[in-house]
Amino acid sequence: MKKFFIPILLAALILLSIGSLFALRDEENLYSSIRLVGRIITETYTKYVDDFDLQKAIEAGISGMLSTLDPHTVYFEEKQYEDLKVDTRGKFEGLGIVIGIRDNVLTVISPIEGTPAYRMGVRAGDQIVKIEGKSTRGIIIEQAVKKLRGPRGTKVTISIRRPGEPKLLDYTITRDVIEIKSVPFYGMIDDEIGYIRLTRFSQDASTEVAEALKSLKEEGMKSLIFDLRSNPGGLLRQAVEVAGLFLPENSLIVSTRGRKSYHSQDFRSFAPPEFDEGKLVVLVNPGSASASEIVAGAIQDNDRGLTLGQETFGKGLVQSVIDLGNNTALKITTAKYYIPSGRCIQKENYLKRKETAIYSRYYTGEEEEKLPEEEEETEEDTTRELFYTLGGRVVYGGGGITPDVKVEQQKLNRLEIELERKSMFFGFAIEYTKTHKELSPDFEVTDEMLDEFKEYLTRSEFEFKTRPQEELENLKKILDESDVDSSAYESLIPFEKILENEKEEEFGESIDYIKHSIKREIVSALWGEKERYRQTVLKYDPDIKKAVEILGTPGEYEKYFALTEK
C-alpha cells in the first residue's frame, strides 16, 4: 500500500504545484501534460515487473526534460550542487579548462593560464569527444566536470577533435590544484602603452583591475591593451563594474530580457571611471565568453575603444540557481544578455536543433537548416542584422562580438602540436634549468640551446609523423592487405626519404615558435608567470604586436572610428 501511495501523492503534489501556471498558459494544455506525467509515474511504479529506485527514475526524467532546452539549464543532485558551490570559491583540483556544450559537442571554452591543460597546449574550441576512451556524445556539462576533476596527481586522458586535424589528439593530463587569479599580470609595454590581463570575473575582478589602472597611470600610461582572451566570464556585477572603469558614469553596459519582468533590467555604470579618455584596445578570441563579451561589447557599442582578435564565443544566456531543498537545485536560463546597440550576445544555434523542445516555437520545419560550420559570416554579410554604435558605426548581430580589427588566430602545425601535447618544452625547461643557473630573464635562445633541445627530444624518444607520412603508412597497410609484389614496397623508398627530409625542414620552418616556446617555459620555471609575460607574451604575441602598432602609429587608432554610411 505504501508503494502505491507514494507515486499517487507525488503526482498530486506535482499537479498542485503547477496549478497556478495552468491559467497562464492554457493554450499549451499544461494541466493535461502534467496529469499524463503523473499517471505514467503511477502506472510504472505500481505495475513494472521489478522493484526500482523511484527517486533515481524521476531525476532521470527531469534531466531528460531539461536536456531538450539549452545546455545551461540543468538539475543539480546533491553532489553536483556541492560541486557548483565549490566552483564559486575559485579553487579546485582538475585540469584547468572551462568547458561548455557547443553545437551538441563538449567543447573547451578556454584553458586557464598556468594550469596543466594550458601548458600542454589544449586550446579554446577543442572538442572533447572522449574521456578515458568513452564517448562524450550526449554528455551534460556537470557529468563532464565530474569525470575531469579529481585528486591532485591523478591522470585523465581526453581525446580532442581540432579543426584542421584529420585525427583525434589524445592528451594525458595530470590533475593539479587550480587556483584562478583575476589579474595575473599588468605592466608597461613601453613608455606610454600599458597592458592588463584579466582571466576571470571573480568577486575581486573590478578591484584588481582598478588597482592595476591606478598603478599604470602612475607609470605614465596613456594607452591601454586590455586582454580578455580566453576569459570565460563570471559574475555579472563584476562585468558591470569592470566596464564602468572605462565608461562615463551612467553609461548603459548591458540589459537582460526574460519572460518575467523581474528578469528584464538595464545595468549602467554607477561610479566615476578610472580610465575613460586614453586609447583603449580590448583583445578577444573564441574563448572570450559571457561577462567578457559584456565588457567588450559595451566598450565597442559606446565607441570607447577598439576590439581586436577573433569573434567571441557567443554565450549570452542568463542563469538563475533555484534552491529546491534537500541540497538540490535547478539552474535555469531566465534571460538573455543584450549590449547597448541592442544586439543579443547569444549565438542561437541551440534554437535550430530539431530535437529540442524549443525548435517548433521558432521554426516551422520548412526552413532549410544550416549547420553552424556551413554558415558564412563576413563583415558585409547581408543576412546578419545591422546595429549601430553610439557614434553611428555599423556592427552586426547574430551572437558573439565581431572585433573591429580582425587578426587571424595563430594555428600550430603538426610538429608544434605534438611538441606541446607531449610537454616537450616544459620537460626540457625543467631539465635545462637544473644545470644552467647563469641565465638572466632577457636571455635569447641560442643555437647551442637548440642543439640541446634536439638531443632532449632524442632521449625522450619523441616522434611525430607529418600528414603525408601518415598517408604513406596507410598505403603500406593497403599493400599488405592486397598481398602485392615486394617491388611495390621498394618503389616507396624514395618517397620515404623525401618525406623524412621534409620533416627536417618543418623543424626549420617552426624555429621561431620553438625558440619562443623554449624561452617561455624556462622563464616560467626560473622566474614565474609574471616574468613570462614580460619576456615572451608582450614581445611575441601577434595580437599584442598588432595592438601596439595601432596605438603607436599616428592616426591609425582614429581611423577605425570613421562612420559607415547608414
**Active-site annotation holder among 67, 202, 255, 315:** 315
Euclidean distance between CA atoms 191 and 174, whole angstroms: 41
Cβ(254)–Cβ(524) below 8 Å:
no
Q: How many CB atoms lie within 10 A of CB 509?
A: 13
> 87 pLDDT exceeds 80?
no
Which residues, 6 or more positions from 221, have their beta carbon under 8 angstroms from its beta carbon? 188, 192, 193, 194, 278
Residues 6+ apart with CB under 8 A from 118: 96, 111, 112
CA distance 122 to 169: 10
Q: For residue 21, is pLDDT > 70?
A: no
Domains of the chain, by residue range, sit at 2-52, 91-179, 185-318+335-363+378-409, 414-544
Cell numbers found for residue 513: 615558435
Q: Is the model's pLDDT at 288 over the cut of 90?
A: yes
Q: Does domain 185-318+335-363+378-409 have CATH number 3.20.20.140?
A: no
The DSSP annotation for 225-283 comes to EEE-TT---B-HHHHHHHHHTTS-TT-EEEEEE-SSGGG-EEEE--S--SS-SSEEEEE
Instruction: Give the angle 516-519-524 at the CA atoms, nearest 5°.
Output: 125
Q: What's the pLDDT score for residue 251?
A: 96
Confidence of residue 406 (pLDDT cuts 50, 70, 90): very high
pLDDT over threshold 60, residue 410 = yes
Q: What is the mean pLDDT of residues 28-44?
A: 81
Report residue 18's pLDDT band, with 50, 70 and 90 as the boundaries.
very low
- pLDDT band, residue 371 (cuts 50/70/90): very low
Distance, in Å, from the CA atom of 53 to the CA atom of 273, rounded to the nearest integer, reads 57
Catalytic residue chosen out of the listed positions 290, 292, 341, 524: 290
Backbone torsion region of residue 260, taken as left when φ is above 0, otherwise alpha when ψ lies between -120 and 50, otherwise beta:
beta
Please, what's the b/e burial string for 512-531 (b: 16 or more CB within 10 A of its CB; e: otherwise)?
Answer: ebbbbbbbbbbbbbbeeeee
Helix H, strand E, coil C: the string for 154-212 is: CEEEEEEECCCCCCCEEEEEECEEEECCCCCEEEECCCCEEEEECCCECCCHHHHHHHH
CA dihedral 416, 420, 424, 425 (to 10 degrees): 90
Single out the catalytic residue among 301, 404, 541, 543: 301
Q: What percent of the chain has pLDDT over 90?
A: 46
The helix (run of H) or strand (run of E) holding residue 556 is helix 556-559
> 257 phi and psi, to 5 degrees?
-135, 125
In the residue annotation, 290 being an active-site residue is answered as: yes
Strand partners for 519: none
Is 80 exceeded by the pLDDT of residue 30?
no
Question: Does the pLDDT at position 389 exceed 50?
Answer: yes
Tell me the average pLDDT across 42-50. Answer: 87
Question: What's the pLDDT band for 169 if we cut at 50, 70, 90?
Answer: very high
Q: What share of the chain is helix, strand, coil (3-state, %, to 5)?
A: 45, 20, 40
Q: What's the whole-number average pLDDT of the chain?
A: 83
**Any residues with CB less than 8 A from the CB of 280 and at least 6 apart, and which?**
223, 224, 226, 246, 299, 304, 305, 306
Tens digit of pLDDT for each residue in 442-452? 999 999 999 99
Active site residue 315: yes
User: Model-level pTM?
Assistant: 0.77
CATH of 91-179, one of 2.60.40.1120, 2.30.42.10, 3.40.50.720, 1.10.10.10: 2.30.42.10
Q: How far apart are CA 213 and CA 83, in angstroms?
A: 34
d(CA 511, CA 514): 5
H runs (alpha helix) in 368-490 = 414-421, 424-435, 447-459, 467-482, 487-490
